[in-house]
Structure formats: structure tokens, C-alpha cells
Amino acid sequence: MSQDFKQAALDYHEFPRPGKISIELSTSAETAKDLALAYSPGVAEPVRAIAADPEAAYRYTAKGNLVAVISNGTAILGLGDLGPLASKPVMEGKALLFKRFANIDSIDIEVDAESPQAFIDTVARIAETFGGINLEDIKAPECFEIERTLIERCNIPVFHDDQHGTAIVTAAGMINALELAGKKLEEASIVCLGAGAAASACMKLLINMGAKVENIYMIDRKGVIHSGRDDLTAEKAAFATETDKRTLDDAIDGADVFLGLSGPDLLSPEQLKKMAANPVVFACANPDPEIRPEVANAVRDDVIMATGRSDFPNQVNNVLGFPFIFRGALDVRASAINEEMKAAAVKALAELAREPVTQEVLIAYGLESLEFGREYILPKATDSRLLGRISYAVAQAAIDSGVARLPMPEHYPIRSSAELAN
């Protein structure tokens, strides 16, 4: 980043007032009667109602549209373990995105916990405050235990976006890219460079969507994860295959797909040349991908390329998923975000990219035209149709899979974000 951009980022977070979110009143508080209703003595009535029926909290408080964005700061973006306080700008940013794209109220919570169990206990004890919990920037392998235990202990959706948000958007783009390449997910040879939280979730979801585990070669710092290794965590062991491939150079030979969730410049032009025809390359390390698009395109004119960056085509961007997934889950009061709901989000996202692009998107990105193809396999973040399509698909999947506690809302599918402001 240039010095000017760095300063602009600092100024954005400092002015006109520090931070990116605030709390606003949702009801009148002007008169003596207003104050008597809002607090003492009137507030006693909803207190009694909730004590008699906990579900009344959704009727008389903001719980049903409130998501906590929670981190311990152990894996902040690509910056590493910088502590909970340093994660606050990121968590505030997530809250901003929830509000901007799905009108979900959100508050950031940074937890200084001495252990995963202390973090779990802290979050579990405050969970009743919220309608959902978005976990963020928690390192692997701790994040797996944390999420799994919190899902068991909480009766609201708990969703680690670094895992599942990344996986959902990646899977949607991958399905479309493979179709353009003339290949099928269930037959594709997939190389995944990286074995952390996002990589594990991506591979699990792709398998759920049809990929074969025997066709997946996951690679960590020690090389290919194979059945002969005795140093694997439970999460990594799930992807251990019987193979004589030991390095990225071995695995990439003839591969249909490369998914990078690792670090910059780790896929060489020579390795890209060894991939099968019409290779699909998702180089998602941020800010510097495993191979830059201009380098990849210079080596292979048949490559279908995606990155995590907004300045290249086909950005794998979690904002395409999590606001709308939570919107659908909250609106049917789902007790969890399960595999069926994730798969529904994948399909809705992939299908939207195949539809004609609206004028609002073209204007937002300064384009004259854009259509489904090698440089457009995922919708753009400004596409207002995302809200209605994904929230409806997720809500329906929650109902069909038995985790919804409310029927489909009468105003679904949502036609515009303006409906949510009323």
C-alpha cells in the first residue's frame, strides 16, 4: 500500500469521529411518558413477559436482529496474532458490513481469554443477548474446537466466517468456473495449498457439494497431507489420501483446480504450466496472491482465475455471503446455520452470477457490459439481488432441514433493502 492510502485508511477510521459504528435509538424518547415507558416503571412489563416466556425477548427487545462479532485476535486478517484489542477495527468493519448489506444490527466484542475454554465460556455466557454470533479472526486449530463447542452450547446460530463464509463463496465460484472449463466437480483433481481454518472448511463444503476426497491434495508446511503421516490433527487427517505425491510440484501435475489459502507467490509459472487444460486457479492469499493474474495469464491463456482482491476480476469476497446468510437465519429464527443452509447459499450465489447483470452494478463498477464468463464467475458485492436471493434460499433450507422456529416471513423474498428499514 502507498503511504497516501495508509494515511487515508487511518483518517477514515478517525474522522469525523473515531470508529465505524454507533448506537441509535429506534423509538421515541422525547417526552416524560416516553421515558416512563422506556425505563421505569414501564420496562417492568416486558421484563415480566420475558421471565414468563423467554421467546418474548424476540418480541420486546432487539435480540432478533442483533449479531455479535467476536474475536480473540489470534489470526487478524493476514497479520497474525496481534491480540484482541488490535482486532477491534476489523470487528467494527464486520459490523458495518452487516448493517450496510443486510440491515442487521451488530456489535463487536473482543475477548482477552487465556485459553480456548475461557473464550468459549465467555461467549456462551453472553450468547443470550444476541440473535446470532459471528466468530472472526481466531487461529486454527483452536477455532475448530471453539466453534464446535459453542454450537453445542448455544441455541442461536454460531458461524465462523473465516471458515464457512470463505468456503461458501469459494464453492460458488468454483462450481461456475468448472462449468466454464467444461469439467465436473465430482471428477476434478483439486490441489489446496494451505491447511488452516478456511482451507479445511472449503474442502469440506466442496466434498458436500460433490467433490471426491480421493481427488483432493491438501498441502501444509510439511507437504502433501497423506495417509502415511503421523503428525496430523484431526482436521487435517480427514483429507489424508493414499498417494505418493509429497510436494506441491508433485500434486499440481495434471491438476484441474488450484486453491490457494496460504501466502504470496507460492505457485510458480512453471507449476501452473503443469496443470490440466482450462485450469481453475483461485489464488486467495491477501493482499498478495499465490500467483498474480497477469503472471498467470501470461503463462496460460486458458486459465480461469480468481483472487481475494477487488482490483482483479472474480473477487472471492465473504461479503457476498455472511450478511445475507445471517439475514435468512435470523428471519426464521434458526437455531443453527447447518450444512443444508450453506449448500443453499452456494447454489443461490452461483446461479445469480449466471443471470444478466443489472445496470446498478455496471454503474457502480464503471462498466459498459458484463456477463457470465471467465472474468465474471461471482456476483459483484453491490448487486442488490444478493439480499433477496441468498436470504430466501437460506431461510427455506432452514425450514426444510428442521432448524427454523418460524415460518417463511410474509415479506420474503426481500425485494430491496428499503423493506428492512420499515
Are the C-beta atoms of 420 and 328 separated by less than 8 Å? no
Q: Does 145 count as an annotated binding residue? A: no
Q: Report d(CA 75, CA 136) in Å as an integer.
A: 8
Name the one residue in this structure whose C-alpha cell is 439475514.
327
Inform me whether the pLDDT recorded for 347 exceeds 70. yes
List pLDDT tens digits, range 72-126: 999 998 788 999 999 999 999 999 999 999 999 999 999 999 999 999 999 999 9
Inform me whether the pLDDT recorded for 1 exceeds 80. no
Q: Cell numbers for 17, please give them.
A: 469521529
In this predicted structure, which of 157-166, 213-222, 227-236, 342-351 has the lowest mean pLDDT?
227-236
Name the one residue in this structure whose C-alpha cell is 437460506.
394
- The arithmetic mean of pLDDT across residues 373-392, rounded, is 96
Q: Report d(CA 149, CA 89) in Å as an integer.
A: 26
Using the 8-state DSSP alphabet, how is residue 148 labeled?
H
Q: Does 136 count as an annotated binding residue? A: yes
Residue 315 pairs in a beta bridge with 307
Q: What values do phi and psi take at 191, rounded to 5?
A: -110, 125
- The arithmetic mean of pLDDT across residues 393-409, rounded, is 98
Report pTM. 0.94
The pLDDT, as a whole number, for residue 421 is 64
Q: What values do phi and psi take at 160, rounded to 5?
A: -90, 100
Catalytic residue among 6, 39, 60, 184: 39
Domain architecture of the chain: domains with CATH: 3-26+62-156 (3.40.50.10380), 164-307 (3.40.50.720), 318-420 (3.40.50.720)
Q: Is the peptide bond before 18 cis (omega within 30 degrees of 0)?
A: no
Q: Report d(CA 219, CA 217) in Å as an integer.
A: 6
Q: Does 112 count as an annotated binding residue? A: no
Q: Is the peptide bond before 141 cis (omega within 30 degrees of 0)?
A: yes
Q: Report d(CA 67, CA 330) in Å as an integer.
A: 9
Share of the chain above pLDDT 70, in %: 99
Catalytic residue among 94, 183, 204, 342: 94
Q: Report d(CA 346, CA 225) in Å as an integer.
A: 27
Q: Would you call 39 a catalytic residue per the annotation?
A: yes
Q: Does 297 count as an annotated binding residue? A: no
The pLDDT, as a whole number, for residue 422 is 57
List pLDDT tens digits, range 239-292: 999 999 999 999 999 999 999 999 999 999 999 999 999 999 999 998 899 999
Q: Does 108 count as an annotated binding residue? A: no
The pLDDT, as a whole number, for residue 334 is 98
190-193: strand order across its sheet: 223-224, 216-220, 190-193, 257-260, 280-283, 304-307
Inform me whether the pLDDT recorded for 180 exceeds 80. yes
Measured in whole angstroms, how far is the alpha carbon of residue 149 from the centre of its chain?
19
158-160 and 132-135 as β-strands: parallel, antiparallel, unpaired?
parallel
Q: Is the peptide bond before 413 cis (omega within 30 degrees of 0)?
A: yes
Alpha helices by DSSP H, 103-239:
116-126, 142-153, 161-180, 197-209, 234-237
Helix/strand/coil for 72: coil
